Amino acid sequence: MTRWIWELRRARWRFGTFGWLALLLMMMAAGVAVSEILPMRADLARRTAELSRREAQLVHAPPPAPDVVGRAMTADQRFSVFLHSFHAIAGQHGLSVPQVTYQAVAEDEASLRRYLVEGTFTGSYLQVRTFVADLRLLRGVRIERVALSRTGIDKTQLDARIKCSFLVETSP
């Protein structure tokens, strides 16, 4: 026991005032790390996991079918829902649609409104095929043209251009 006391007195002499201050600062830094940084790191990990979960729900959200959304909507609102469905289905199959053009076409009957939609994207053959198959399941959609091309015979990515029309009843 006396040996330890002697070593502590000797350490005080060897460290000096600045050595003890440095040791005190290191202990304070360790205390801050334990009390502030570690809980913050755990909180950031929890928030990152929550954000990833919410992002996955947004990416894989089931597309609302334009005929299920509600009958009280106007034709333009139903077309907006269709565009959301179009992009959601593309997102489910890993396709991004960088360019979509659409226009309203006048129909002979006043109770119907037709919209033409053209989209271009790049993806594998399987992605394009499943996207077109799921797009056909939406009511009111008619696929008019699908054009596929690729830059070389050895490439697996296709450049796809889809032209479809969406027919919706207008409110009386």
User: Residue 138 sits in which domain range?
Assistant: 75-169
Residues 73-127: tens digit of each pLDDT: 777 888 888 888 888 888 888 887 888 898 888 766 677 888 999 999 888 888 9
Q: Are residues 91 and 144 in the same domain?
A: yes
Please say if the pLDDT value at position 64 is more than 60. Answer: no
pLDDT for position 66: 52
Per-residue pLDDT, averaged over 33-41, amounts to: 86
pLDDT for position 65: 56
Within a domain: residue 66? no
pLDDT for position 56: 78
Q: Are residues 42 and 86 in the same domain?
A: no
Residues 125-152: tens digit of each pLDDT: 889 899 999 988 888 899 999 898 988 8
Cα separation, 92 vs 16, in Å, equals 67
pLDDT for position 16: 77
Residue 57 · residue 74 · CB < 8 Å: no
AA identity, residue 86: F
- As a whole number, the mean pLDDT across the chain is 83
Q: Are residues 160 and 103 in the same domain?
A: yes
Number of domains, the chain: 2
More reliable by pLDDT, 168 or 50: 50
Separation in Å, CA 146 to CA 102, 123, 128, 143, 154: 16, 13, 10, 8, 21
CATH number at residue 123: 3.30.70.60
Cα separation, 115 vs 59, in Å, equals 25
